[in-house]
Amino acid sequence: MLRIVVCVSGGGTNLQAILDAIDRGQITNTEILAVISNNAGARALTRAESRGIPGFCISPKSFSDRETFNRAFTDKVCELNPDLVVLAGFLVKIPEAMVARFSNRIINIHPSLIPSFCGVGYYGLKVHEKVLERGVRVTGATVHFVNEGMDEGPIIAQKAVSVEEEDTPESLQRRVMEQAEWILLPEAIDDIANGRIAVVNNKVRRQ
C-alpha cells in the first residue's frame, strides 16, 4: 500500500482528481494519510475534510522566518512518514532538507511542457499568460519528481494540449487542467503505487 501525503495551496482540483480516481479504481494500492496546505482558506482542505482525510495548515505566515517554517513543514511530513509526497497545486518551495529526506519520493504537477514555461515565477495562471504572450500553438502539463531545483527533476509523464485562437489565460488553464493535469497526476500515482516506475541515472524508466 502506497501511503501518500498531498500538499495543496488553492482550489484542490488536482486533489479532487486523485480522490475521484481512487473511488473509480483508477488508482489502486494507495492510501492518502493527510492533506497539508500553506493556506488556511484553501478549498482543498474542505475537500479533504469532506472525505474524512486529516488536513493540516502550515503557513509560512505563522512563523518568524522561512527557516523555522521549513523545519516545521519538514518535521510534519516526516512525522506522517509517507512513501510519497504529492504536490497538487502547491505553491511553496520545498525545503532542501525535505528533498534530501524524500529523494525521488516527491512528485509535482506543473501546468506546462517542461522545460518550457517553468522555473522561478512560473506558477498557476502566470504560466498560461506567458504561453499566450509567446504565441505557442501547443502547451500541456508535466508530472515530475522534485529535486533541489525548481521544476528540474526527472520527468515522469507529459501531455500536450492545443492552444486556441480565442483562449484567455483562464480558458487555457481550465483546458490544461481537464485534458492534462487531472489525468497525468492520478496515472503517475497509480504507476508508482504499482511499481511501474524507477529512476535510473536521473531519468524515469518504466518497468
Is 37 near ligand GRF (CB under 6 A)? no
Is 19 near ligand GRF (CB under 6 A)? no
Q: Which residue is nearest to ligand GRF (CB)?
A: 89
Q: How many Å apart are CA 156 and CA 1, to the nearest integer?
A: 20
> Which string of x and - marks every residue 54-93 that binds ligand GRF (by CB under 6 A)?
----------------------------------xx----
Q: Are 57 and 37 in contact (CB under 8 A)?
A: yes
Which amino acid appears at position 173 of this protein?
Q
User: 71 or 147: whose CB is closer to ligand GRF?
Assistant: 147
Q: How many Å apart are CA 38 and CA 27, to the nearest integer?
A: 26
Q: Is 43 exposed, middle or buried (0-12, 13-18, 19+ CB in 10 A)?
A: middle
Cell digits for 16? 479532487
Applying CB under 6 A, the span of 8-16, 27-35, 48-56, 93-101 interacting with ligand GRF comes to 8-16
Q: How many Å apart are CA 31 and CA 45, to the nearest integer?
A: 17
Q: Count CB neighbours of 207 within 10 A.
A: 8
User: 98 or 175: whose CB is closer to ligand GRF?
Assistant: 175
* Segment 90 to 109, residues that bind ligand GRF, using CB under 6 A: 109
Q: Is 186 exposed, middle or buried (0-12, 13-18, 19+ CB in 10 A)?
A: buried
Kindly state the smallest distance separating residue 112's Cβ from ligand GRF, in Å: 9
Among 5, 12, 34, 144, binds ligand GRF (CB under 6 A): 12
Q: Are 207 and 167 in contact (CB under 8 A)?
A: no
Catalytic residue among 35, 44, 82, 110: 110
* Segment 178 to 197, residues that bind ligand GRF, using CB under 6 A: 181
Identify the CA nearest to 156 among candidates 195, 101, 112, 108.
Answer: 108
Kindly state the smallest distance separating residue 22's Cβ from ligand GRF, in Å: 16
Which amino acid appears at position 42 of this protein?
A
> Which string of x and - marks every residue 150-179 that binds ligand GRF (by CB under 6 A)?
-----------------------x------
Active site residue 144: no
Contact residues toward ligand GRF (CB under 6 A) are 8, 10-15, 44, 88-89, 109, 111, 124, 173, 181
Positions marked active-site: 110
